[in-house]
Amino acid sequence: MTIRKQFLKTRHTCKVEFTIPSSQAKNFSKASVVGDFNNWNANATPMKRLKKDGSFSCSVELPEGKEYQFRYLIDGSRWVNDNKPDNFRNTIYNDAKNCVIKL
């Protein structure tokens, strides 16, 4: 999994691209990025499967100077963490860890 950040100088925002590579996306049909930037809404940020290679990807623009927690939701029922976030933080339920990106 990869997270790519592109800081936009004119708007003080960062375009963040989330990608699940095809090698990890073989056994599921849909994915979304769910986090505090979209109020943990499973439908707010769906990822698209790329026909070219079978990976899933989506982009969001987020304000700079903050940290955001997120996880991937696979097929509407399985939570998965990115393998290279900036950090991890315990969930409010203390049953798992959320990924953290710093912008």
Q: Where residue 39 sits, what CATH number does that domain have?
A: 2.60.40.10
Neighbours of 70 (CB within 10 A): 24
pLDDT digits (tens, 9 = 90+) for 22-49: 988 888 999 999 999 999 999 999 999 9
**Quick check: 59 pLDDT over 90?**
yes
Number of domains in the chain: 1
The H-or-E segment that residue 62 falls in is strand 56-63
pLDDT number for residue 51: 85
- Give me the chain's average pLDDT, please: 95
**Quick check: 3 pLDDT over 90?**
yes
In the chain the first and final C-alpha atoms are separated, in Å, by: 18
Q: How many whole angstroms separate alpha carbon 80 and alpha carbon 17?
A: 17
Residue range(s) defining the domain that contains residue 6? 2-102
pLDDT band at 92 (very low <50, low <70, confident <90, very high): confident
Q: How many whole angstroms separate alpha carbon 5 and alpha carbon 28?
A: 26
